[in-house]
């Protein structure tokens, strides 16, 4: 299976594959565009940069040196990528000394043999996501079947934001600057945050982004000692209800590819199904 291939079952979703890919990608473009609305001082300290080049755009957040936070987008979309495009990509990342970068390859990316072309330049896949999808009708049916009782997810507020952010930072291994960044996502980027609280503090936390009639559930974590208590299911349910209330017809979640884990099983129990994959490619540093 190449980086952009995935068996697509049209019965899983009322939209064709390209529309699904574009709708999901819109969330990431919305977030990256929103970075420019963050306070200039924060942008500078976080190392946020947008670097257009002939074959795409490199989006940097240097404080988070991960391929997913320093992505190359638009590559091989308007036209099939060429050897000249790959050379321009490598020249761009070298010139700006990108700390860690990831070339995004999804089902729209051309040519189909791009991974083979990249391999010839030492550019290899380093991370893969499976995109899960649920329609509004599926979400409603899943919510109706939920048993009563159990944990309840509430909105992140002034009273619990510090504890919720601390939970997410510890589970994702985020740097200290995330203590400023995560609250800014709610006030500036429009993310909606939710938390499940236990007697000794938050056990689970996660976000929801809504764009018109589409919703993305993301940035979710549960502390290890609280797993298996229903916190993640409560977060999924709360965000589905919020999305439905806001008129959303389409719901997306990204999960790490590979062995199916508890988080993915919980999502699939709520009606989410895999529809396509997204891969990140990078070149190992020679330093």
Query: Distance between CA 191 and CA 216 in Å, rounded?
Result: 10
Tokens standing for 18? 């390209």
If asked whether residues 14 and 116 sit together in one domain, one would say yes
Q: What's the pLDDT score for residue 2?
A: 43
* Residue 245, domain extent: 133-277
If asked whether residues 37 and 166 sit together in one domain, one would say no
48-53, strands of its sheet edge to edge: 48-53, 56-61, 71-73, 102-105, 273-283, 123-135, 250-256, 214-222, 201-211, 192-198, 153-155
Reply yes or no: is the peptide bond before residue 117 cis, omega within 30 of 0: no
If asked whether residues 164 and 224 sit together in one domain, one would say yes
Our count of domains for the chain comes to 2
Q: Is 1 exposed, middle or buried (0-12, 13-18, 19+ CB in 10 A)?
A: exposed
Query: Distance between CA 233 and CA 267 in Å, rounded?
Result: 8
If asked whether residues 113 and 150 sit together in one domain, one would say no
Query: Distance between CA 132 and CA 116 in Å, rounded?
Result: 27
Q: What's the pLDDT score for residue 154?
A: 96
**Is 4 among the domain residues?**
no
Q: What is the pTM of this model?
A: 0.92
If asked whether residues 170 and 221 sit together in one domain, one would say yes
Torsion of CA 234, 204, 277, 2, to 10 degrees: -140
Tokens standing for 180? 């400023």
**Is 31 among the domain residues?**
yes
If asked whether residues 124 and 138 sit together in one domain, one would say no
Q: What's the pLDDT score for residue 147?
A: 87
Tokens standing for 9? 């079952």
Cβ neighbour number for residue 239 with a 10 Å cutoff: 27
Rounded mean pLDDT for each run of 10 residues along the chain, 287 residues in total: 43 74 96 96 97 98 95 98 98 94 97 97 97 96 91 94 95 94 96 92 94 97 84 95 98 91 90 96 78
Q: What's the pLDDT score for residue 13?
A: 53
If asked whether residues 137 and 269 sit together in one domain, one would say yes
Query: Distance between CA 27 and CA 29 in Å, rounded?
Result: 5
If asked whether residues 165 and 246 sit together in one domain, one would say yes
Q: Diameter of the chain by CA atoms?
A: 59
Q: Which of 259, 3, 286 is nearest to 122 (CA)?
A: 286
Pairing mode of beta strands 250-256, 123-135: antiparallel
């Amino acid at each position: 299976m190449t980086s952009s291939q995935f068996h697509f079952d049209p019965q899983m979703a009322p939209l064709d594959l390209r529309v699904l890919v574009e709708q999901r990608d819109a969330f990431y473009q919305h977030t990256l565009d929103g970075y420019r609305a963050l306070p200039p001082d924060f942008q500078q300290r976080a190392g946020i940069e947008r670097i257009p080049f002939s074959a795409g755009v490199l989006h940097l957040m240097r404080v988070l040196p991960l391929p997913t936070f320093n992505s190359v987008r638009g590559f091989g979309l308007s036209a099939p990528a060429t050897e000249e495009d790959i050379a321009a990509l490598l020249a761009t990342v070298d010139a700006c000394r990108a700390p860690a970068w990831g070339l995004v390859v999804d089902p729209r990316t051309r040519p189909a043999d791009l991974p083979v072309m990249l391999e010839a330049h030492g550019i290899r896949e380093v991370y893969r996501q499976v995109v899960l999808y649920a329609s509004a009708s599926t979400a409603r049916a899943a919510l109706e079947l939920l048993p009563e009782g159990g944990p309840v997810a509430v909105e992140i507020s002034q009273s619990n934001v510090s504890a919720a952010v601390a939970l997410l930072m510890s589970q994702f291994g985020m740097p200290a600057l995330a203590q400023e960044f995560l609250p800014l996502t709610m006030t500036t980027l429009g993310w909606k945050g939710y938390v499940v609280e236990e007697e000794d503090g938050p056990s689970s936390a996660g976000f929801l982004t809504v764009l018109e009639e589409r919703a993305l559930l993301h940035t979710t974590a549960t502390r290890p000692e609280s797993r298996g208590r229903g916190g993640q299911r409560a977060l999924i349910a709360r965000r589905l209800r919020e999305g439905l209330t806001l008129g959303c017809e389409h719901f997306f979640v990204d999960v790490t590819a590979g062995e199916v884990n508890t988080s993915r099983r919980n999502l699939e129990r709520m009606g989410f199904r895999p529809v396509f994959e997204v891969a990140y490619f990078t070149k190992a540093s020679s330093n």
